Chains A and B, each alone.
Chain A
Amino acid sequence: MIPPSFDYATPQSLSEAIALLHQHGSEAKVLAGGHSLIPAMRLRFAEPSHLIDISGIAGLSYIRESGGFLRIGAMTREVELEDSELIQSNYPILLDTAKMIADPQVRNLATLGGNLAHGDPANDHPATMLALRAQVEITGQGGKRTVPIDDFFPDFFTTVLEHGEILTEIQIPIPPSNSGGTYLKIERKVGDYAVAAVAAQVSLGADGTFQQVGLGLTNVGPVPIRAVRSEDSLRGQRPDEALYAQAGQLASEDADPGDDLRGSADYKRSLIRELIKRALRRAVDHAQGRS
């Protein structure tokens, strides 16, 4: 399986990369880690005439907190999330997510930006970014713009990235103290896409009630889904098993899965119902400092 012919460019700066994208029109694609795009090209699902490899551009790979945000450069590899002490200590949800993506060799090259910009509802980071209420920075010819993650995936395999724009940074509001999160994924075998998965991020107030709740669902609809009714049902309440069960029920109703090789729609809804409960227990344990 050899992909169709294409031209390959290795720009050394963002402005050069954006100029190349404009020059070559809609047949040009950005190559980041390549672990969604190259398989798609080999299967001829994608046939770009030009590949713009952005891995040589300095300054797109970093993990740092500043200005109230955890800022992650779009070219940051999954392995760098896994190995980051900051992520390990303060962002368990991101560690859980990165570890469940594909396998170690893929994570050595696959990037966070690519995982989002590919627009695949089966990818793992979109739900996590929904739970974290992230925003993404997009750079184009006219400069930078910022888009909330809720607006980033308007449709199946579609993002709001315009042609000639590059996703450059992921911005996650630094959670207050007494916060916790997790990502729980059911997969048929290690490295597969999720049958279903749940991202949960919670913050508890001084009185022990839920102040902030973020719940994202993976691969149970045409786009990554925020479990809005489940979030609303928890906010202001004290953590409680009956509430978790109710949140799970609401999320299973708001999911929009189809029947496929990974299972029936009913089965996927039942997974969401259970995973929401497990994820909330674990996120609350984190937030209460018990794990």
Chain B
Amino acid sequence: MSKHTISFTLNGDSVTQEVDSRLLLVHLLRDDLQKTGTHIGCDTSNCGACTVLLDSRSVKSCTVFAAQANGKAVETIEGMEQDALHPLQEGFHEEHGLQCGFCTPGMIMRAKELLKKNPNPTEEEIRWGISGNLCRCTGYVNIIKAIQYAANKLNEQQKEAA
């Protein structure tokens, strides 16, 4: 067993933590840092419920060792709401993009990267873009509407800021 002291930012705040080399990022977040918004679904890198951003890229935190986050920026669902709900959170609310809500944090973190890379995705692009995230309730239709809602709102905000 080897121990490592790692430092990273979590939703903008600096964190320094001693971790076992075999500790997975999702367990560090949930068990040690009490950020339980990141969920464990399949635990086999299929379902995407544990999706977080690592240096702005969406990754499945059940398949990343905590030690691999050393020096990086980690973003979780807890960091999405700033002064108000993030447009993605608002979109899932407005468009009924969830029923049980278990997949939602992972969906939102994945969608955040998707919209950053492609601010105007087609329905097809959204479907491909969330192909690593499983939802057992909605049939995805309202999730796609929620992401489209957020895309529109983010684009409007961008125009107003310009």
Contact assessment for A108 and B58 in the assembled complex, using a CB-CB cutoff below 8 Å: yes
Stretch at the interface among A99-107, A148-156, A254-262: A99-107
Q: How far is the CA of A105 from the CA of B132 in the complex (A)?
A: 7
Contact assessment for A34 and B131 in the assembled complex, using a CB-CB cutoff below 8 Å: no
Q: Quick one: which of B20, B24, B43, B129 contacts A5, CB cutoff 8 A?
A: B20
Stretch at the interface among B10-18, B63-71, B79-87, B89-97: B63-71
Q: How many A-B residue pairs have CB under 8 A?
A: 81
Asked if A3 is at the interface of the complex by the 8 Å CB criterion, the answer is yes
Contact assessment for A34 and B68 in the assembled complex, using a CB-CB cutoff below 8 Å: yes
The contact string, 1 if C-beta is below 8 Å from chain A, for chain B 48-68, is 100100000111100111011
Q: How large is the interface on B (under 10, 10 to 19, 20 to 34, 35 or more residues)?
A: 20 to 34
What is the CB-to-nearest-CB distance from B92 to chain A, in angstroms, rounded to a whole number? 19
The contact string, 1 if C-beta is below 8 Å from chain B, for chain A 98-124, is 000011111011000000000000000
Contact assessment for B22 and A104 in the assembled complex, using a CB-CB cutoff below 8 Å: no
Q: Quick one: which of A2, A5, A51, A106 contacts B45, CB cutoff 8 A?
A: A106
Neighbouring B residues of A55 by C-beta, 8 Å? 68
Task: Give the number of chain A interface residues (Cβ < 8 Å).
Answer: 27
Contact assessment for A8 and B64 in the assembled complex, using a CB-CB cutoff below 8 Å: no
Contact assessment for A190 and B65 in the assembled complex, using a CB-CB cutoff below 8 Å: no
Contact assessment for B67 and A8 in the assembled complex, using a CB-CB cutoff below 8 Å: yes
Q: How far is the CA of A141 from the CA of B51 in the complex (A)?
A: 38
Contact assessment for A105 and B22 in the assembled complex, using a CB-CB cutoff below 8 Å: no
Asked if A79 is at the interface of the complex by the 8 Å CB criterion, the answer is yes
Contact assessment for B21 and A7 in the assembled complex, using a CB-CB cutoff below 8 Å: yes
Q: How far is the CA of A5 from the CA of B45 in the complex (A)?
A: 20
What is the CB-to-nearest-CB distance from B126 to chain A, in angstroms, rounded to a whole number? 11
The contact string, 1 if C-beta is below 8 Å from chain B, for chain A 118-141, is 000000000000000000000000
Contact assessment for A7 and B64 in the assembled complex, using a CB-CB cutoff below 8 Å: no
Contact assessment for A102 and B2 in the assembled complex, using a CB-CB cutoff below 8 Å: no
Neighbouring A residues of B45 by C-beta, 8 Å? 35, 38-39, 105-106
User: What are 10 pairs between A and B in contact, CB < 8 Å?
Assistant: A1-B44, A7-B21, A8-B67, A39-B44, A39-B45, A42-B44, A51-B21, A106-B63, A109-B59, A191-B132
Instruction: Report, nearest first, the 3 A-B pairs whose CB atoms are least far apart.
Output: A103-B132, A8-B21, A5-B1
